[in-house]
Amino acid sequence: MLIRMSTAAQSPRSTPLHSVSVAGAVVRDDGRVLAIRRADNGNWELPGGVLEIEESPEAGARREVLEETGIEVSVDRLTGVYKNMTRGIVALVFRCRPVGGSERTSDESAAVSWLTPEEVTAAMAEAYAVRLLDALSDDAPHVRVHDGRRLMPAA
């Protein structure tokens, strides 16, 4: 039996693919949220990173938070989908609760801190602060696009 592949299956993709990342918006009972100062660029952001092929988004969020902060979390719910239009990264952000561990830095995090929502707004670029602020709202999930620093109008 001869099986013929479609032209699309035979030729390499000419369109770049997206990367999918996950992040944890970890919220304590006192309302403070977990943030890291990234080791590579010094920016304050949520703990997160690339979703691995074999893991679910929730498992990826738990893994990334633990790897970057030492904090074990329970995932509550998806709070937002964010696309970096400049880099082609789609981030899934989950609201999480801390359930164990203790704060520590890693190769990816130069600092780990529990910030108030006001401190988040002051310390983070708008495109990243909104992820934490969205996680605190009751009307999630949000879908937003940004250029790596600032939010962009929805199309």
Return the half-sphere exposure (C-beta side, CA atoms, 13 A cut-off) of residue 36: 28
pLDDT tier at 13, thresholds 50, 70, 90: low
Identify the band that residue 16 occupies on the pLDDT scale cut at 50, 70 and 90: confident
Please report how many Cα atoms fall inside a 13 Å half-sphere around the Cα of residue 40, on the Cβ side: 4
Q: List pLDDT tens digits, range 18-75.
A: 899 999 999 999 999 999 999 999 999 999 999 999 999 999 999 999 999 999 999 9
**Encoded tokens for 49:** 């990173």
**What is the strand order of the sheet 151-152 is part of?**
48-50, 19-26, 89-101, 71-84, 142-146, 151-152
Query: What's the pTM value of the predicted model, to 2 decimals?
Result: 0.88
Task: Compute the mean pLDDT over every residue in the chain, rounded to the nearest whole number.
Answer: 91
| pLDDT tens profile 78-117 | 999 999 999 999 999 999 999 999 999 999 999 999 999 9
- Whether 23 contacts 48, CB under 8 Å: yes
Q: In order of start, what are the domains of the chain with their CATH numbers?
A: 17-150 (3.90.79.10)
| pLDDT for the residue numbered 155 | 67
Instruction: For residue 123, name the pLDDT band (cuts at 50, 70, 90).
Output: very high
pLDDT of the residue at 7? 42
Taking the C-alpha atoms of residue 23 and residue 93, their distance in angstroms, rounded to an integer, is 5
Burial per residue of 5-37, b for 16 or more beta-carbon CB atoms within 10 angstroms, e otherwise: eeeeeeeeeeeeeeebbbbbbbbeeeebbbbbb
C-alpha–C-alpha distance, residues 29 and 13, integer Å? 47
**Which run of H or E residues covers position 127?**
helix 126-136
Q: Is the pLDDT of residue 9 over 60?
A: no
Indicate whether 6 pLDDT > 60: no
Residue type, 81: V
